[in-house]
Structures are given as structure tokens and as C-alpha cells.
């Protein structure tokens, strides 16, 4: 197996290291020598002996000896060209590029099918956690009912810091940024866009439907305050940025939102930069996947396992229909904080200083906002 790795940054160099250190064992596992022929990056770096450095990804794609192209540059422009060109040249492709797959997955999967090549992308969701392979292979007997997850480590780290250290959002963000957690474009993390990319990929595979990414509602964690975090704590909840998808009526409900999760739920106890995915199925019922969602070796572990999987004969099918009806999930329990008593049905209520705090029964958001009229209030979804 001859491999070309395009992108030698955090993940790409980790892949080079693992494949080099584990070459003998991995080659034995597939009964074929695993060889990195090219490392492609914008700037030349030291590569282990035998790997050819190139600046030009076309050198990799146009080499007839290359079986697997590994795209690890990120983004949705050049990466798309690289992946489609590689597929059209009959190469298997491995990528960790969640943004590209959420936006252009359909086109890429179709091209892979037409060219009879593998496209594997385990590292795009949950870093090293083997959740996609489980969805595509181990859960094949099941119909998925619901998927929920904490799919962004950065925001989970920030929420954990806010809670444990009693910090404001901005204070916690500064610390997370200083530790290198926050993406170059912070909106991807903070506004839930990265988590939306990941739930889009999970939902497509779970419900066997293509989802138009632009229809997914994502609100992120910028509105979570220390005040609401304290009230949540008093009521037995913890703030988490929850990505959720489930089949509803004639379509798919899917969104990402800061949510109060009961501390009794396993998901509420996933702290720091860890990720979790919980999939509810008809036969095996609930299964939970937990682990680190980012980091050089964590992510490279999933990429290497995908590279090795390209030696298998059977292709992953992505013969999905388009889902035209995509909705935010608005039927929920809600947390409300207002400066006056509110006329709402509730499960829990207390008042402190000038605040009136409610956890409502499950209700449609539109019905709730009708009752609230012009009152000023803070609102978040509640789970559990
Ligand atoms: N880091 C992580 O923990 C995780 C990352 N991912 C995904 O993995 C992918 C890679 O991420 P990561 O390694 O962190 O990103 P990095 O920015 O660390 O690495 C990307 C590398 O690609 C290089 N590059 C950019 N354009 C080209 C080009 N045209 N030809 C060759 N090389 C190029 C960059 O060079 P330069 O720096 O000079 O621009 C950089 O070294 C992304 O899709 C990301 O979303 C997924 C899960 C976790
Ligand atoms: N920014 C992402 C990195 C991995 O996908 C995260 O925080 O989870």
C-alpha cells in the first residue's frame, strides 16, 4: 500500500509518526507493506527516511503508484479539489475534514462510488473515537432513532472552566485560547458550527439521508452567563453544548444549542475537552462513545485506522436520499429566567434576588413564546 499524505500540520505529522513507528505491525495486519511515499506540505519539514517531500499536491495525485491519498489540510476549497481529483484518478481517500464533508459530502461520496474507491473519514467526528465505523458497520442491524453529542472539545472545556472556576465566558475563552484550544476562526467552535458539521455527518449516516448543512440551526455558547450557570447548578443541571438529531414527522430535527443537562445524565458528566456521542437505536437501544475529540495522536489514530481499512474490499455505501425537511428541535423543556413572574407551566421554579427561574414542562417553543408576550427573558433548552 503506497500512501501520499497532503498536509503535514498537527494531524498530518502525527499520521507520519504513527505509520512510521507502527509500520511492521500494520503491514503484518494487512499482509502488505505499508509505505508512505510522499509527505506534502507548504513548507519543507524533516520527514523520516524514504518519504519524498513535495510542495505540490498534484505530484501525489498524479503518481500511478499511490493507492491512498490522505487529505489533512482542512478547509473547503483546495481540499475539495484534492479529494475529487484523487478519487477521479482511482485513489482511495482518507480525510478528517468535517467542514468539507458537511458541505460537500454528497458530491464526494457519489464520486467515490462512481470510481469504486473508498472514502473514509472517521477522524472528522469525535477525533479518535471510533463512532463512524460503528455506525456504518456495527450498528447495521439497527434503525437510528436519535443521536446526541458533545462534539466540540473547545466549548466543553470553556463550559467546564466557567463552572469549576466560577469564570465569565470571556475569562474562560481567554484561558482556552492561551492553551491553543480555539480554532483560528473562533466562530467555528463558539457558535456551534464545528459541532454542526459533525452532527450533520452523524445524522446522514444514522438516518441514511443527505442533509443540507445550511439548514442546520446552531447557536453555540456565547450567551451562557455565570448567573445562569449558578442557577442551573442549583437546579441540578449543567450547561453543555448539545448537538442533537432525530427523525420528526416528515423530516429530520437537527440543531446545536447550549442546553441545561440534568447531572443524572451520563452526557452531563463529560467534562473538559472530552467528546461524547450517544446513539439511540431500535434494537441495541442506547450506545455511548466517549473519548478525546482532538489532538495530534488522538486524531491521527483514527486517520491511520482508516488508511489500513482501505485494504478491505467492501465499500461503505452512501446511497442516501436527500432530506428536504430539516428543522431545529423546538419541542423541549426550557429554562427561563425573567425579572417578573411568568404565566407558564413548570416543573421547577424558584426566585432569588430579582430573578424568577423556571424549568418548564416539555413544550413547543412557539407555544411558549406566545405565552411570554413581550416579557424580557433568558431561555435555554433543558434535557433530562
Ligand atoms: N487538530 C485536530 O485535533 C483535529 C483536526 N481535524 C481536522 O484535520 C484536518 C487537519 O487539521 P490540523 O492538522 O489541525 O491542521 P493544521 O493547520 O495543523 O495543518 C494543516 C496543514 O496543511 C498545510 N497546507 C495548507 N494548504 C496546503 C496545500 N495546498 N498543500 C499542502 N499543504 C497545505 C498547512 O500548511 P501551513 O501551516 O503552512 O498553512 C498545515 O501544515 C482539518 O480538516 C481539521 O478540521 C479533525 C479533528 C481534530
Ligand atoms: N475545534 C475542534 C477540534 C476538533 O475537531 C474541537 O474543539 O472539538
Q: Which domain holds residue 347?
A: 331-382
**Same structural domain, 171 and 75:** no
Q: Are residues 236 and 371 in the same domain?
A: no
Do 304 and 261 share a structural domain?
A: yes
Q: Note whether 100 and 139 are same-domain residues.
A: no
Please indicate, yes or no, if residue 125 is contained in any of the structural domains. Answer: no
One domain for residues 183 and 319 = yes
Annotated ligand binding at 352? The verdict is no
Percentage of the chain modeled with pLDDT above 70: 100
371 falls within a domain = yes
Cα(124) to ligand 1 centroid in Å equals: 12
36 pLDDT tier (thresholds 50, 70, 90): very high
Q: Return the sign of the alpha-carbon dihedral for residues 241, 220, 97, 323.
A: positive
Q: Which residue has the least CA distance to atom 4 on ligand 2?
A: 294
Reported as half-sphere exposure (CB side, CA atoms, 13 A), residue 266 has a value of 12
Q: Which of 59, 94, 120 is the last residue of a domain?
A: 120
Domain boundary among 120, 152, 178: 120
Per-residue pLDDT tens digits for 180-221: 999 999 999 999 999 999 999 999 999 999 999 999 999 999
Query: Which of 306, 327, 348 is at the close of a domain?
Result: 327
How many CB atoms are closer than 10 A to CB 141?
9
pTM over 0.95: yes
Say whether both 301 and 180 belong to one domain. yes
> Is 192 in contact with 244 (CB distance < 8 Å)?
no
CATH code of the domain containing 143:
3.30.360.10
Ligand 1 centre and the CA of 246: distance in Å?
A: 32
307 and 370 housed in the same domain:
no
Q: For residue 148, give the H/E element and its range.
A: strand 144-150
Strand order in the sheet with 68-71: 52-54, 35-40, 2-6, 68-71, 92-95, 119-120
Q: Tell me, yes or no, whether 291 and 360 share the same domain.
A: no
Which residues fall within 8 angstroms of residue 290, CB to CB, at 6 or more apart?
129, 270, 274, 275, 276
CATH number of the domain to which 60 belongs? 3.40.50.720
Give the cell for residue 311. Answer: 485494504
342/304 same-domain check? no
175, part of any domain:
yes
> According to the model, what pLDDT value does residue 373 have?
80
Q: Are 215 and 199 in contact (CB under 8 A)?
A: no
- Burial level of 46, CB count in 10 A (0-12/13-18/19+)? exposed
Do 203 and 265 lie in one domain? The reply is: yes
Does residue 293 have its Cβ closer than 6 Å to ligand 2? yes
Ligand 2 site, residue 108, Cβ cutoff 6 A: no
Q: Is 156 in the pocket of ligand 2 (CB under 6 A)?
A: no
Query: Which among 382, 194, 328, 199 has a CA at the least distance from the CA of 273?
Result: 194
Using CA positions, which residue lies closest to atom 2 of ligand 2?
Answer: 152
Q: What is the ipTM of this complex?
A: 0.99
Position 126 in a domain: no
Distance CA 99, CA 96 (A): 9
Rounded to 5 degrees, φ, ψ at 262 are: -55, 135
215 among annotated binding-site residues: no
User: What are the beta bridge partners of residue 146?
Assistant: 246, 280
What are the pLDDT digits (tens) for 58-112? 999 999 999 999 999 999 999 999 999 999 999 999 999 999 999 999 999 999 9
Q: What is the pLDDT of residue 374?
A: 78
What is d(CA 236, CA 207) in angstroms, rounded to the nearest whole number? 32
- Is residue 77 included in any domain, yes or no? yes
SS3 of 362, please? coil
Kindly state whether residues 138 and 85 are assigned to the same domain.
no
Distance 109 CA to ligand 2 centre (A): 23
Structural domain total, the chain? 3
pLDDT at res. 375:
83
What ligand 1 atom has the least distance to the C-alpha of 293? 48
- Asked if 131 contacts 202 with a C-beta cutoff of 8 angstroms, the reply is yes
User: How does the average pLDDT of the chain come out, rounded?
Assistant: 97
36 and 86 assigned to the same domain: yes
Ligand 1 contacts (CB < 6 A) are 6-12, 40-43, 57, 72-74, 78, 96-98, 123, 127, 294-295, 299
Amino acid at each position: 500500500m503506497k500512501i501520499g499524505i497532503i498536509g503535514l500540520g498537527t494531524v498530518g505529522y502525527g499520521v507520519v509518526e504513527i505509520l512510521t513507528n507502527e509500520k511492521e505491525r500494520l503491514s503484518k495486519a494487512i499482509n502488505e507493506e505499508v509505505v508512505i511515499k510522499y509527505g506534502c506540505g507548504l513548507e519543507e519539514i524533516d520527514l523520516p527516511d524514504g518519504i519524498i517531500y513535495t510542495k505540490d499536491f498534484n505530484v501525489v495525485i498524479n503518481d500511478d503508484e499511490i493507492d491512498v491519498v490522505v487529505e489533512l489540510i482542512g478547509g473547503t476549497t483546495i481540499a475539495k479539489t484534492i479529494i475529487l481529483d484523487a478519487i477521479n484518478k482511482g485513489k482511495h481517500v482518507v480525510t478528517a475534514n468535517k467542514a468539507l464533508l458537511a458541505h460537500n459530502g454528497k458530491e464526494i461520496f457519489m464520486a467515490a462510488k462512481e470510481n469504486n474507491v473508498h472514502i473514509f473519514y472517521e477522524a472528522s467526528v469525535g477525533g479518535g473515537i471510533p463512532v463512524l465505523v460503528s455506525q456504518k458497520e456495527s450498528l447495521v442491524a439497527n434503525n437510528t432513532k436519535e443521536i446526541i453529542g458533545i462534539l466540540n472539545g473547545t466549548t466543553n472545556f470553556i463550559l467546564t472552566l466557567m463552572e469549576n472556576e466560577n469564570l465569565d465566558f470571556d475569562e474562560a475563552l481567554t484561558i482556552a485560547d492561551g492553551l491553543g484550544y480555539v480554532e483560528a476562526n473562533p466562530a467555528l467552535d463558539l457558535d456551534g458550527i464545528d459541532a454542526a458539521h459533525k452532527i450533520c455527518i452523524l445524522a446522514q449516516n444514522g438516518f441514511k439521508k443527505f442533509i443540507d448543512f445550511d439548514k442546520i440551526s446552531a447557536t453555540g455558547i456565547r450567551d451562557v452567563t455565570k448567573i445562569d450557570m449558578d442557577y442551573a447548578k442549583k437546579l441540578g443541571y449543567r450547561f453543555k453544548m448539545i448537538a442533537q438529531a432525530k427523525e420528526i414527522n416528515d423530516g429530520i430535527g437537527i440543531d446545536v444549542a447550549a442546553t441545561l443537562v440534568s447531572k443524572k445524565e451520563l452526557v452531563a458528566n463529560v467534562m473538559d475537552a472530552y467528546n461524547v456521542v450517544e446513539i439511540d437505536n431500535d434494537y441495541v437501544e442506547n450506545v455511548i462513545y466517549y473519548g478525546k475529540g482532538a489532538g495530534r495522536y488522538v486524531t491521527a489514530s483514527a486517520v491511520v485506522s482508516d488508511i489500513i481499512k482501505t485494504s478491505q474490499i467492501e465499500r461503505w455505501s452512501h446511497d442516501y436520499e436527500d432530506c428536504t425537511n430539516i428543522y431545529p428541535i423546538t419541542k423541549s423543556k426550557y429554562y427561563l429566567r425573567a425579572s417578573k413572574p411568568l404565566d407558564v407551566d413548570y416543573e421547577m421554579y424558584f426566585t432569588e434576588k430579582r430573578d424568577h427561574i423556571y424549568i418548564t414542562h416539555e413544550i413547543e417553543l412557539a407555544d411558549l413564546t406566545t405565552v411570554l408576550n413581550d416579557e424580557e427573558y433568558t431561555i435555554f433548552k433543558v434535557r433530562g
